[in-house]
Every structure is written in structure tokens, then in C-alpha cells.
């Protein structure tokens, strides 16, 4: 077969590139932002340090939902919109309060902004 060597010569570096890309993206912790609406009260996890935890559903900009558990220093009012950064490994990063107009248009209908 005449094409065996060219396929191996071209295919092997492509395969190595894909493996390296997957490896380094997991090490670098590719971040995804999830948009969450506070719909219930936080649970107190440490009275001395005033840590509060939420377990709520959030959505990425493509509308894919995920249950997120995150902690904050002060509880939020019901109806507050926040964006939570999450890496592929599951690390929950910073939590930031946002306004309704900062929600991606593709997921705005998933949130009942005026119901609180």
C-alpha cells in the first residue's frame, strides 16, 4: 500500500497534538462561566467565619445546566443573579453579582428575574 507512510507521517503528529491539547487544557483549568439565580436561602457552614453555601442550578452561555455548590461570605437576597466560574476539574472560582442585562441573550428566558 502506497499510502501507509504518508498517513502515519501526517496522522501521528495530529494525534499527539490532540492529546497535548486535552492534557494542557485540563492542567490550565479551562474556565466556564455559569449563570445562577438565587432562589433559596443559603445554608450556614461556619458561624464563626460567616461562610454561607448555596447548591443551585446554573446555566452556561449555551444553556447547558449544572448543579453548582459554592460558598460566599455574605448571603444574597432571593432573585439575585450571579456568575460563577467553574473549571473542568470542578473547582468553583469567584462569584460575582450581575444585572439582568449582563445575562447572555441565549439564556435570559431561563431566569425569572421579576418574580422576586
What does 52-82 look like in DSSP terms, one character per residue?
Answer: EEEEEEEE-TT--EEEEEEEESSPPPTT-EE
- Over the chain (116 residues), what is each successive 10-residue block's mean pLDDT? 58 63 52 91 82 93 91 92 83 86 90 64
Domain ranges of the chain: 29-115
CATH topology of domain 29-115: OB fold (Dihydrolipoamide Acetyltransferase, E2P) (2.40.50)
pLDDT for 40-58, tens place per residue?
Answer: 999 988 777 778 999 999 9
Strand, helix or coil at 45?
strand
Alpha carbons 41 and 79: distance in angstroms, whole number: 11
Say whether pTM exceeds 0.85: no
CA-closest candidate to residue 83, choices 42, 62, 93? 93
Amino acid at each position: 500500500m502506497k499510502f501507509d507512510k504518508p498517513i502515519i507521517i501526517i496522522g501521528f503528529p495530529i494525534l499527539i497534538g490532540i492529546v497535548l491539547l486535552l492534557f494542557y487544557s485540563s492542567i490550565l483549568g479551562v474556565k466556564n462561566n455559569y449563570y445562577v439565580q438565587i432562589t433559596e436561602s443559603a445554608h450556614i457552614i461556619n458561624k464563626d467565619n460567616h461562610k454561607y453555601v448555596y447548591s443551585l442550578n446554573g446555566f452556561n452561555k449555551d444553556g447547558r445546566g449544572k448543579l453548582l455548590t459554592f460558598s460566599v461570605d455574605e448571603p444574597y437576597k432571593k432573585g439575585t443573579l450571579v456568575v460563577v466560574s467553574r473549571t473542568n476539574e470542578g473547582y468553583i472560582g469567584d462569584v460575582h453579582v450581575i444585572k439582568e442585562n449582563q445575562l447572555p441573550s441565549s439564556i435570559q428566558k431561563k431566569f425569572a428575574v421579576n418574580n422576586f
